């Protein structure tokens, strides 16, 4: 497994390997098995698994850079990378027995959906689970799949100290998961983000995250705001797609000539201005993105709870990175003209992929609204922020 300091370089190398296979990945509507394994062998799925369980426990900025680098080669591969990595966070709330079971193959993919779309009914030794989950990214490549569930006993939901239903992620062997063929979409097809379900499946209690293990280790990664790594994965994919679109346009600009012109696009003043504007927008968004993450990580390393102000800045920076990434891709797509629309052009796939990524709830307009309310000092619902 790669050491932490070599992860980003490894990601760049893998990106170069998989970039020519974008059409294959999209047509398959899931990652080819060799690519999914390559990402796992590189250690990417273990970036957010604790060191005590054999993971890498990397700082969030490194994980984001890995995802960003992979996305320059293929956005779907990067998406599955961050899904595998962030699902690994849940393993900190499992027993050593369960974590060892799920991590028996160090390169295996564990995917999951945190939304409590299932019901886990308490029985002797565990739970009987029924449920259907949407947006199961990577589930077709996974060895284990997790699904959020409401815990039920004697027909009544179990509740927490606040009187709310207890939601836990339970993990299922992939062979017991029924994949539903729902993933027919405009972009990010290769993520395999299909719906899935389980029916009357027995799950031992040690595979219910947070049921037997009530708290996470007191270490920086687990003091970091819980949903921030997931959001940052989405933002990092956007940044990687945007950088790839700029690179692709550079190739086109030196060769393409508009009808009736003897000069290539690269010599046109409007193209020069747009490329400069796009570069400035992308670098500015990236600086805010990583600056906010680093500040949050510094606070996590200080030992106390990470202040809401850091969560606010990180989530706003992630939303902004996604918005600016989509704008940069649009600029490059439009500059390239008719060349962009053909299947052989990476720009058309980047255009579709980035606009699917913008629809993720972690980068929805509501994020900016919530951040704005916090900046203005207004009463604000911040659950999951």
Give per-residue pLDDT as tens, 336-357.
Answer: 999 999 999 999 999 999 999 9
pLDDT reading at 306 higher than 60 = yes
CB of 327 closer than 8 Å to CB of 281: yes
Question: Minimal CA–CA distance to 26: which of 239, 138, 236, 185?
Answer: 185
Q: Which percentage of the chain shows pLDDT scores above 90?
A: 90
Write down the pTM of the prediction. Answer: 0.96
The CA angle 254-354-4, to the nearest 5 degrees, is 90
| Torsion angles phi and psi, residue 103, rounded to 5 | -105, 20
Q: What is the mean pLDDT of residues 61-65?
A: 98
Same domain, 370 and 228: yes
Residue 232 in domain: yes
Please report whether residue 101 resides in a domain. Answer: no
Asked if the model's pLDDT at residue 213 lies above 70, the reply is yes
Query: Is residue 264 domain-shared with residue 188, that is, in the same domain?
Result: no
Q: Quick one: 202 and 151 in the same domain? A: yes
Together in a domain, 237 and 371:
yes
Count the domains in the chain.
3
pLDDT(265) > 70:
yes
pLDDT for the residue numbered 2: 44
Q: Which of 16-20, 142-146, 158-162, 333-337 shows the lowest mean pLDDT across its residues?
A: 158-162
Q: What is the DSSP string of 249-276?
A: HHHHHTT-B-TT-SSBGGG-HHHHHHHH
Q: What is the mean pLDDT of the chain?
A: 95
Residues 235 and 128 in one domain: no
Residue 237: what pLDDT? Answer: 98
CATH code, domain carrying 19: 1.10.540.10
Note whether residue 124 is domain-resident.
Answer: yes
110-145 tens-digit pLDDT: 999 999 999 999 999 999 999 999 999 999 999 999
Rg, C-alpha atoms of the chain: 21
Residue 1 or residue 9, greater confidence = 9
Residues 254 and 345 in one domain: yes
Could you list the residue range(s) of the whole structural domain that residue 192 is in? Answer: 110-207
Give whole-number Cα distances, 178 to 120, 130, 133, 191, 309, in Å.
17, 11, 10, 17, 41
| pLDDT for 51 beyond 80 | yes
Residues 202, 263, single domain; the answer is: no
Q: Are 118 and 66 in the same domain?
A: no
Residues 187, 149 within the same domain: yes
């Amino acid at each position: 497994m790669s050491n932490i300091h070599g992860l980003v370089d490894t990601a760049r190398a893998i990106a170069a390997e998989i970039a020519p296979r974008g059409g294959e990945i999209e047509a398959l509507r899931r990652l080819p098995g060799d690519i999914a394994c390559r990402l796992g062998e590189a250690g990417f799925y273990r970036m957010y698994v604790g060191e005590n369980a054999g993971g890498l426990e990397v700082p969030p900025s490194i994980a984001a850079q890995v995802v960003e680098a992979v996305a320059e080669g293929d956005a779907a591969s990067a998406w599955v990378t961050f899904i595998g990595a962030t699902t690994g966070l849940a393993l900190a709330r499992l027993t050593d027995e369960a974590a060892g079971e799920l991590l028996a193959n160090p390169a295996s993919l564990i995917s999951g959906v945190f939304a409590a779309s299932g019901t886990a009914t308490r029985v002797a030794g565990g739970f009987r689970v029924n449920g259907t989950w949407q947006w199961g990214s990577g589930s077709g490549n996974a060895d284990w799949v997790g699904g959020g569930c409401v815990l039920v006993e004697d027909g009544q939901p179990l509740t927490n100290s606040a009187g709310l239903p207890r939601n836990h992620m339970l993990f299922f062997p992939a062979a017991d998961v029924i994949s539903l063929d729902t993933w027919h979409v405009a972009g990010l097809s290769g993520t395999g983000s299909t719906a899935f379900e389980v029916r009357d499946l027995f799950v031992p209690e040690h595979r219910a995250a947070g049921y037997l293990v009530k708290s996470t280790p007191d270490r920086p990664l687990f003091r970091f705001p819980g949903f921030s790594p997931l959001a940052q994965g989405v933002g990092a994919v956007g940044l990687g797609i945007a950088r790839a679109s700029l690179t692709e346009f550079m190739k086109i600009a030196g060769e393409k000539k508009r009808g009736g012109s003897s000069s290539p696009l690269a010599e046109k003043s409007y193209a020069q201005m747009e490329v400069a504007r796009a570069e400035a927008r992308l670098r500015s968004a990236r600086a805010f993105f990583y600056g906010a993450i680093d500040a949050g990580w510094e606070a996590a390393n200080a030992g106390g709870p990470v202040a809401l102000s850091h969560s606010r800045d990180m989530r706003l920076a992630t939303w902004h990175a996604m918005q600016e990434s989509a704008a940069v891709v649009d600029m490059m797509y439009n500059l390239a003209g008719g060349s962009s629309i053909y299947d052989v052009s990476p720009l058309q796939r980047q255009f579709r992929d980035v606009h699917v990524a913008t629809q993720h709830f972690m980068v929805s307009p509501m994020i900016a609204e919530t951040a704005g309310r916090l900046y203005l000092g207004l009463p604000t619902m911040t659950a999951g922020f």
